[in-house]
Amino acid sequence: MRALTAGLIAAGLVGLVGCGGSDYRSVSGTVLLDGEPVPDAAVAFVPEDPSGENATGYTDESGRFTMTSTRTDGVRPGKYKVRISAFAEKAEPVKGMAQIMAEKMSGGGGGDAKAAAKDANVALKAAAKDSKEANKRKRVSTPPVYNDIDKTPLRAEVPAQTTFKFELTRDAK
């Protein structure tokens, strides 16, 4: 009987303590810039407590995000500074060698594979150069203050709140 009671108490304690993930809260929200959704933004919760754990999320086309910690989905309870950044333009994806060769081969009257490979190599190098140039031209569409962890006015406290609406303004300083 004693062994059964001890076993039930141990099982109850394991259930209360959990496997380490029970302390995390599901956190989601929306990011708006001057009232408009901000797609493709990175949202970072940086703990004010040095022993805390970072969490990140990425907005969809509607500006909605869900946070994930380094260990699991969700966010550990605590106070966080919030950093948000989004780029104004995305670089176009670069086509692969096989895709360029297939386009070269099917474009003309069949053509020769060696010439198509040479043309594809030239086109691939040009596309890579264009992509690098586009990346250099990228501008952050969210004002810099929201991307600077020392200056951001955005804060989050979990579990006091688990759904957030971050309303950013272009003229934020």
Residue 56 vs residues 69, 70, 71: alpha-carbon distances, Å: 6, 8, 11
pLDDT at position 22, please?
Answer: 64
Tokens of 71: 């260990």
User: Would you say residue 41 lies in a domain?
Assistant: yes
pLDDT at position 118, please?
Answer: 76
∠ CA(132), CA(136), CA(139), 5° rounding? Answer: 135
pLDDT at position 172, please?
Answer: 85
Assign residue 35 the CATH number of its domain. Answer: 2.60.40.1120
Full domain range(s) for residue 61 = 21-88+140-168
On whether both 51 and 128 belong to a single domain, the answer is no
Averaged pLDDT in 10-residue chunks for the chain of 173 residues:
46 42 88 94 95 94 94 93 83 60 60 70 71 55 92 96 95 84
Q: Total structural domains in the chain?
A: 2
On whether both 79 and 144 belong to a single domain, the answer is yes
Distance, in Å, from the CA atom of 36 to the CA atom of 163, rounded to the nearest integer, reads 18
On whether both 131 and 145 belong to a single domain, the answer is no
On whether both 35 and 114 belong to a single domain, the answer is no
On whether both 28 and 82 belong to a single domain, the answer is yes
User: Would you say residue 124 lies in a domain?
Assistant: yes
User: Would you say residue 103 lies in a domain?
Assistant: yes
Report which DSSP code applies to 135. Answer: H
On whether both 109 and 39 belong to a single domain, the answer is no
On whether both 37 and 76 belong to a single domain, the answer is yes
The Cα diameter of the chain in Å comes to: 87
On whether both 144 and 156 belong to a single domain, the answer is yes
Report which DSSP code applies to 144. Answer: G
Report which DSSP code applies to 161. Answer: -
What is the reported pTM? 0.61
